[in-house]
């Protein structure tokens, strides 16, 4: 067909019809038509020519032009699309490199093959525009709930019609043994929207903890309005869940608001989640208090928090142990997810046994090292002394408060403790030297002989070796492997060295060796102090 003989307005009418049907910008369809006509013209005039087509947006008239670019003489490669400066002078008054010479060429007759090719180009462009529109529409809806209709099921994955596109609910994102039939209505959480080669992929979920949070937001107006906030959610999909809430209005009970009149609000969420039991828990800034709430319905007798290790020990009455742990460890697992802490649960009997064991170990330590009888050693432990360093270097007044201890007895105790510690230090240093420790590490301030011995046993024998250590290698830490927190034992962890202390010692060693500029270290320390000050002001 020839463009000249066709109704020129028909192009624009076709573009508008396609744009309306696919809900995309008509300009994109016109651009696709221009590109397809340009391809057809190239097949007629020659593929090396730079043929361009412009369709008038009002009249529909298509203008075919040939474009040639001015290049330097030695760079002329394609004489069909390029001109030298000398050649351009016959067409242009003052040609410069980079200028373009545009001339109109006759419209082409589009044969059957060219028309088919043009149709393919237009369809491809329309498809791409449709995908872009779909992605732009859904990318900002990630993290929200969407209603859809089940279209089909493929290998356990459910394909859902979400209006202007399709989404996928994977098999592992369904609750329990949920089964869906075509045309069933379904409500899901948009977990992720990705732009991929085959078009935007919308991934749905019904097991994500945030799905439950969004359901509560829909059912509880106070959450939607921001009066009540959901602070944490933990789920065992289809079985049990815990949700922590806090109210910013003293007159509104967050738990009661989420439960609703006769449980109407929480029941609506439970029904959507296939009968999943939900514990609604008041959130508290104090972690031990929050944990006691999170372990409901079990009663907690005592909580011991280790902030550095992010672990917490919980003591419960003997008869409450199974309730606190829950079936297959479900209750304690959900409480751990909710609080972000590793939880060790023990009974009162187990805790009492452990404390008795610690008491006996400390008593034996004082009996063996200070040459005391059992009664006197037990007195020291009862007063809170846990190691020899405390006895050796504590203020003498703290020893005098113990029954039966006078000034001379206190001096004798401290002298024995110091002598034993000095003997230990001397033996540790001698062993370290036997292992080949260099003077540079022995003389380094901040390390005790026992620390030097522990380092030497692990192959750290010089200041250079020490400076290459990472802070977590010395102080220990925690890493997450396959979702499980794993303990990394530090070389000096048994000496109660913190990460901050380890970092300071390593950086000091690097400065002494000239590896780090001292001003950088000072700036870093100043930054830390400023950060601490800001935190203190914020807390105040």
Q: How high is the pLDDT of residue 396?
A: 80
Query: Does position 528 have pLDDT exceeding 60, yes or no?
Result: no
Of the candidates 327, 325, 256, 319, the residue with the CA atom closest to the CA atom of residue 295 = 325
Gyration radius of the chain's alpha carbons: 38
Task: Please write the tens of the pLDDT for every residue from 302-356.
Answer: 887 766 656 788 888 888 888 888 888 888 888 888 888 788 888 888 888 888 8
Pick from 73-87, 242-256, 466-480: least confident: 73-87
Give DSSP secondary structure letters for 244-300.
EEEESSTTS-HHHHHH-GGGHHHHHHHHHTTT-EEEEEE--SSHHHHHHHHTTTS--
Distance CA 269, CA 265 (A): 7
- The residue count for the chain: 540
Distance CA 523, CA 54 (A): 62
DSSP 91: T
**Can you read off the two tokens belonging to residue 287?**
């972690």
Percent of the chain predicted with pLDDT > 90: 10
For 162, phi then psi, to 5°, come to -110, 30
Contact indicator for 311, 345 with CB cutoff of 8 Å: no
Query: How many Å from the N-terminal Cα to the C-terminal Cα in the chain?
Result: 81
Q: How high is the pLDDT of residue 3?
A: 42
The boundaries of every CATH 3.30.1480.10 domain in the chain are: 5-130
Query: Does position 521 have pLDDT exceeding 80, yes or no?
Result: no
Within a 10 A sphere around the Cβ of 9, how many other Cβ atoms? Answer: 12
Confidence of residue 5 (pLDDT cuts 50, 70, 90): very low
Task: Please write the tens of the pLDDT for every residue from 385-439.
Answer: 888 888 888 888 887 777 777 888 888 888 888 888 888 889 988 998 999 999 8
| Cα-based angle 42, 48, 52 (whole degrees, multiple of 5) | 45
Q: How high is the pLDDT of residue 109?
A: 64
Interval 63-85 mean pLDDT: 77
Output b/e per residue, 283-318; b: 16+ Cβ within 10 A: bbeebbebbbbbbbebebeebebeeeeebbbbbbee
- The CA dihedral of 427, 428, 431, 433, to the nearest 10 degrees, is -110
Query: Does position 525 have pLDDT exceeding 60, yes or no?
Result: no
Higher local confidence (pLDDT), 164 or 211: 211
Query: Does position 254 have pLDDT exceeding 50, yes or no?
Result: yes
Antiparallel, parallel or unpaired: β 185-196 and 157-161: unpaired
Write the CA distances from 114 to 53, 111, 246, integer angstroms. 15, 5, 67
Contact indicator for 305, 255 with CB cutoff of 8 Å: no
Of the candidates 496, 446, 452, 499, the residue with the CA atom closest to the CA atom of residue 471 = 499
Distance CA 255, CA 251 (A): 12
Q: How high is the pLDDT of residue 524?
A: 56
Q: How high is the pLDDT of residue 111?
A: 54
Residue 149 belongs to what H/E stretch? strand 145-154
Q: How high is the pLDDT of residue 113?
A: 56
E strands present in 299-458 = 302-306, 311-316, 342-347
Higher local confidence (pLDDT), 509 or 120: 509
The boundaries of every CATH 2.40.50.140 domain in the chain are: 140-207
406 Cβ contact list (under 8 Å, min separation 6): 400
Query: Does position 540 have pLDDT exceeding 60, yes or no?
Result: no
CA dihedral (220, 222, 228, 231) positive or negative: positive
- Residue whose entry in the numeric block shows the structure tokens 């320390």: 525
Q: How high is the pLDDT of residue 230?
A: 92
Contact indicator for 16, 5 with CB cutoff of 8 Å: no
CATH topology of domain 5-130: N Utilization Substance Protein A; Chain:P; domain 4 (3.30.1480)
Interval 69-74 mean pLDDT: 78
Distance CA 113, CA 120 (A): 11
For 37, counting Cβ atoms within 10 Å of its Cβ (0-12 exposed, 13-18 middle, 19+ buried), the class is buried
Q: How high is the pLDDT of residue 274?
A: 84
CATH architecture of 140-207: Beta Barrel (2.40)
Confidence of residue 7 (pLDDT cuts 50, 70, 90): very low
Q: How high is the pLDDT of residue 4?
A: 40
DSSP 108: P
Distance CA 333, CA 349 (A): 22
Of the candidates 305, 244, 326, 338, the residue with the CA atom closest to the CA atom of residue 314 = 305
Helix segments in 401-477, DSSP class H: 407-434, 439-442, 449-457, 463-467, 471-475
Interval 97-110 mean pLDDT: 75
Contact indicator for 146, 167 with CB cutoff of 8 Å: yes
Task: Please write the tens of the pLDDT for every residue from 282-307.
Answer: 998 888 888 888 888 888 888 877 66
Distance CA 138, CA 128 (A): 16
Distance CA 48, CA 67 (A): 11
For 150, counting Cβ atoms within 10 Å of its Cβ (0-12 exposed, 13-18 middle, 19+ buried), the class is middle
Query: Does position 534 have pLDDT exceeding 50, yes or no?
Result: no
């Amino acid at each position: 067909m020839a463009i000249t003989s066709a109704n020129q307005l028909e192009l624009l009418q076709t573009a508008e019809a396609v744009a309306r049907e696919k809900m995309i910008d008509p300009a994109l369809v016109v651009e696709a038509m221009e590109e397809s006509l340009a391809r057809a013209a190239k097949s007629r005039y020659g593929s090396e020519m730079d043929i361009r087509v412009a369709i008038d947006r009002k009249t529909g008239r298509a203008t075919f032009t040939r474009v040639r670019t001015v290049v330097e003489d030695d760079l002329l490669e394609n004489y069909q699309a390029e001109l030298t400066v000398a050649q351009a002078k016959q067409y242009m008054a003052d040609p410069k490199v980079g200028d373009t010479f545009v001339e109109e060429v006759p419209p082409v007759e589009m044969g059957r093959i060219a028309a088919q090719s043009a149709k393919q180009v237009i369809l491809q462009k329309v498809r791409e525009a449709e995908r872009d529109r779909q992605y732009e529409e859904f990318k900002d809806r990630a993290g929200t709930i969407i209603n859809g209709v089940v279209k089909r099921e493929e290998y356990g994955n459910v394909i859902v019609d979400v209006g202007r596109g399709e989404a996928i609910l994977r098999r592992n994102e369904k609750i329990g043994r949920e089964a869906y039939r075509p045309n069933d209505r379904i409500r899901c959480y948009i977990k992720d929207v990705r732009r991929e080669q085959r078009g935007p992929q919308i991934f749905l979920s019904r097991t994500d903890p945030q799905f439950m949070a969004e359901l509560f937001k829909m059912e509880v107006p106070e959450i939607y309005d921001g009066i009540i906030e959901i602070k944490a959610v933990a789920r065992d999909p289809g079985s049990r869940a815990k949700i922590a809430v806090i109210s910013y209005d003293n007159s509104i009970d967050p738990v009661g608001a989420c439960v609703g009149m006769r449980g109407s609000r929480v029941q609506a969420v439970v029904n959507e989640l296939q009968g999943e039991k939900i514990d609604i828990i008041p959130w508290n800034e104090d972690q031990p208090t929050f944990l006691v709430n999170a372990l409901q319905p079990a009663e907690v007798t005592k909580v011991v928090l280790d902030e550095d290790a992010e672990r917490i020990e919980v003591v419960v009455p003997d008869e409450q142990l199974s309730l606190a742990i829950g079936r297959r460890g479900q209750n304690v697992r959900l409480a751990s997810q909710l609080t972000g802490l590793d939880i060790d649960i023990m009974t009162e009997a187990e805790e009492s046994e452990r404390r008795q064991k610690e008491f006996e170990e400390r008593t034996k330590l004082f009996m063996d090292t200070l040459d005391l009888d059992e009664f006197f050693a037990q007195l020291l432990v009862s007063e809170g002394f846990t190691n020899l360093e405390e006895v050796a270097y504590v203020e003498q007044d703290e020893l005098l408060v113990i029954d039966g201890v006078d000034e001379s007895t206190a001096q004798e105790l401290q002298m024995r403790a110091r002598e034993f510690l000095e003997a230990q230090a001397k033996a540790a240093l001698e062993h370290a030297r036997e292992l080949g420790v260099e003077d540079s590490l022995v003389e380094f301030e901040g390390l005790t002989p026992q620390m030097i011995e522990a380092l030497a046993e692990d192959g750290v024998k010089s200041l250079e070796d020490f400076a290459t250590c990472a802070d977590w290698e010395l102080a220990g830490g925690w890493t997450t492997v396959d979702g499980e927190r794993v303990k990394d034992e530090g070389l000096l962890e048994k000496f109660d060295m913190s990460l901050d202390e380890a970092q300071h010692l390593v950086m000091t060693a690097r400065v002494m060796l000239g590896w780090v500029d001292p001003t950088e270290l000072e700036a870093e320390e100043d930054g830390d102090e400023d950060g601490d000050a800001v935190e203190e002001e914020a807390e105040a």
